[in-house]
Amino acid sequence: MSFGDPNNPYGQQQGQPGYGYPQGQQPQQPPQPPQPGYGYPQAPPVQQPYGGYPGAQMTMPGLMQTARVLLFIVAGLQIIVGLIAAIAIAAAQDVSDSVGAGEETGVIAGLGFFLVVILLGFAAWAIVLGVKFSKGGNGVRVTTIVYASLYILLSLANFAGGQASSAVGGVIGLAIGGIILASMVNSSASAWFNRPRY
């Protein structure tokens, strides 16, 4: 066994002064191309989904969770206000019927009930949107933008009354609608609603 044999796996390591060669006269070997790694193909790395491993679930961003909670709160308030308004309209119509002025107030009561139905429709819309946040796609995002825009416009109508209580309600409505709208038009909303679903 020779210490200078380059094919000997137990011989001297490359780059070390050795026993078989004088110092400074090591044999020169051409640079080796990189070797493929132990049976794995040489392919570009695959980008993993969110979370770093296949099947990882993306968590809903905080702004999306806030918008979702606000949709449920708004829907609850709209249901409460709608039911109170319907009871009040029905009671007022009964009083006007007992007095004999039911025909004159019937149109106003009908309009009031129509507005209650619209209010309850908005509440149902908000609940459906809130429920769809976890599984819905980009259509839920666009529909929420439309809902928030209409909510902001209806909140602006509160300022037309000129009363302080209406103005406070308008400011609160503008803030809630603005938060919902802002949460839907940012990049995290786009990433959330366009995420891959497994």
* Chain segment 22-45, per-residue pLDDT in tens: 555 655 666 665 565 555 555 555
Q: What is the reported pLDDT for 20?
A: 56
Tell me which of 6-10, 63-67, 154-158 is least confident. Answer: 6-10
Residue 88 located in a structural domain = yes
186 in a structural domain: yes
Domain interval for residue 78: 62-193
CA angle, 73 then 79 then 81, to 5°: 100
Asked whether residue 187 is domain-assigned, the answer is yes
What pLDDT, on the 0 to 100 scale, is given for residue 95?
Answer: 82
Among 101-115, 118-132, 137-151, which is the least confidently predicted range? Answer: 101-115
Dump pLDDT digits (tens) for 144-154: 999 999 999 98
User: Is-above-0.85 flag for pTM?
Assistant: no
DSSP string, 101-118: -HHHHHHHHHHHHHHHHH
Give how many domains the chain has, as a whole number.
1
